[in-house]
Amino acid sequence: MDKTAIERDLARVEHHVRQGEQSIARQRDIITDLERGGHDTAQVKTLLGQLEATQALHVGHRERRQFCRF
C-alpha cells in the first residue's frame, strides 16, 4: 500500500475513532438517565459493551496504520 493510501486509510480510521468516542459517551449518558429513572439498563449496557469492543478494534487499526506511516 502506498503512502497516500495509508494516509487516506488513517484519516478514515481517525474519523471512526472520533465517532466511536461520541457514541460511547452518548450511550453512557443514556444509561445514566435510565438508571436515574429506575429503568432496566441490561440491553443498553450490552450495546455499550459492543460499542466499546468496536472502538477497541478501531483504535487497534489506527495504531497499525500509524506504524505503517514510518
Instruction: Give yes or no for a contact between 65 and 9, defined as CB atoms under 8 angstroms apart.
Output: yes
> Grid coordinates in use for 32?
445514566
Instruction: Quick: pLDDT tens for 30-52.
Output: 999 999 999 999 999 999 999 99
Dig out the grid coordinates for 25 from the structure.
Answer: 459517551
> Taking the domains of the chain in order of start, what are their residue ranges?
3-68
DSSP H/E element including 39: none
Least confident of 16-20, 29-33, 49-53, 58-62: 58-62
Q: How far apart are CA 4 and CA 35, in angstroms?
A: 47
Q: Helices in 1-70 by DSSP H: which ranges?
A: 3-36, 42-68
